[in-house]
């Protein structure tokens, strides 16, 4: 019923044109006797017309409305009409002077085939676009384990993969590459006092805050727990230290309030910046963690 409601106009239009062709033939010709009918032609031409009609119904039933569906439907309708008129010619004898029947039988066929060809071309373009989108989604599904389940960031393994690529690119382009680590101070006290759910909310808020304070080309990942690492391409150590201080001040000024009591949490973070020299990802991350451990002992604050 839903199919008929959606495509009533199309099907009624085709039925009207087919009936009009039948009435024209009946008005101008004479019905052949049983012996005059070539049943082989009837089976071939009538069967082809029936298949074209089936294809049209299947198309309308399976595809959404749009340019591709419209072109294919019009093309199949023309093909059906051409074969329908050929079939009628097997049952009705027209006067020899009637030349218009050749036009009704042959002209719709090439028009229909051209419309179908154009529709298939646009269908191919449509499928290529869909395939590209599906490929991106498939890649995302394959790599979903590389992303942190709590924050919208890459996890430690994703960080290592991207860091390896960034190191190779930095060497090829002879550009500096730096890392900045941000580690929340006394984060365990938040979990102990307010619970893990509130601690998770803090990590999510900090992740969004850090993303807002980084540049478009920077990559932020969650290394572990309350520790975040930003990969800064084409960035020297001095600039990386400046960015680290900006991130530290952003965390200090975060006005996060607990969900249950609306109490403001005063957060602080330790930061460190290191620049890649001739490191591999593991060596660079080791230097970063050692520098962060030293920073947390000294608790230096950016001016």
Got the DSSP string for the chain? -HHHHHHHHHHHHHHHHHHHHHHHHHHHSEEPPGGG--HHHIIIIIHHHHHHHHHHHHHHHHS-SSHHHHHHHHHHHHHHHHHHHHHHHHHEEPPTT--HHHHHHHTHHHHHHHHHHHHHHHHHHHHHHHHHHHHHHHHHHHTGGGB-SSSSSB-HHHHHHHHHHHHHHHHHHT--EEEEEEEETTHHHHHHHH-HHHHHHHHHHHHHHHHHTS-TT-EEEEEETTEEEEEEET--HHHHHHHHHHHHHHHHT--EE-TTT-PEE---EEEEEEE-SS--HHHHHHHHHHHHHHHHHH-----
Specify the pLDDT at position 133: 60
Specify the pLDDT at position 141: 45
Specify the pLDDT at position 4: 46
Write out pLDDT tens, residues 244-259: 999 999 998 887 777 7
**pTM for the whole thing?**
0.53
Residues in the chain where the model's pLDDT stays below 70: 1-7, 97-99, 132-145, 299-301, 303
């Amino acid at each position: 019923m839903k199919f008929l409601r959606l495509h009533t106009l199309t099907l009624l239009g085709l039925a009207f044109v087919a009936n009009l062709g039948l009435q024209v033939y009946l008005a101008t010709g004479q019905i052949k006797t049983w012996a005059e009918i070539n049943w082989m032609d009837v089976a071939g031409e009538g069967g082809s017309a029936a298949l074209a009609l089936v294809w049209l119904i299947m198309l309308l039933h399976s595809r959404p409305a749009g340019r591709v569906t419209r072109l294919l439907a019009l093309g199949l309708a023309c093909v059906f009409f051409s074969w329908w008129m050929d079939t009628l010619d097997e049952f009705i004898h027209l006067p020899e002077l009637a030349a218009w029947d050749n036009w009704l039988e042959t002209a719709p066929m090439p028009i229909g085939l051209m419309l179908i060809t154009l529709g298939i071309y646009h269908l191919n373009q449509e499928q290529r676009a869909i395939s590209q989108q599906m490929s991106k989604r498939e890649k995302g599904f394959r790599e979903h384990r590389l992303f942190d389940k709590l924050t919208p960031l890459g996890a430690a393994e994703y960080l290592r993969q991207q860091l390896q690529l960034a190191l190779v690119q930095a060497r090829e382009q002879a550009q500096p590459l730096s890392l900045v680590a941000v580690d929340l101070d006394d984060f365990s006290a938040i979990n102990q006092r307010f619970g893990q759910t509130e601690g998770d909310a803090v990590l999510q808020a900090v992740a969004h805050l850090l993303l807002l304070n980084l540049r478009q080309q920077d990559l932020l990942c969650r290394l572990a727990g309350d520790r975040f690492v930003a990969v800064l391409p084409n960035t020297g150590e001095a600039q990386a230290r400046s960015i680290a201080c900006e991130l530290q001040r952003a965390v200090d000024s975060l006005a996060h309030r607990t969900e249950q009591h609306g109490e403001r949490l005063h957060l602080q973070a330790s930061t460190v910046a290191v620049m890649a020299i001739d490191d591999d990802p593991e060596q660079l991350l080791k230097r970063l963690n050692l520098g962060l451990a030293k920073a947390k002992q000294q608790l230096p604050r950016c001016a």
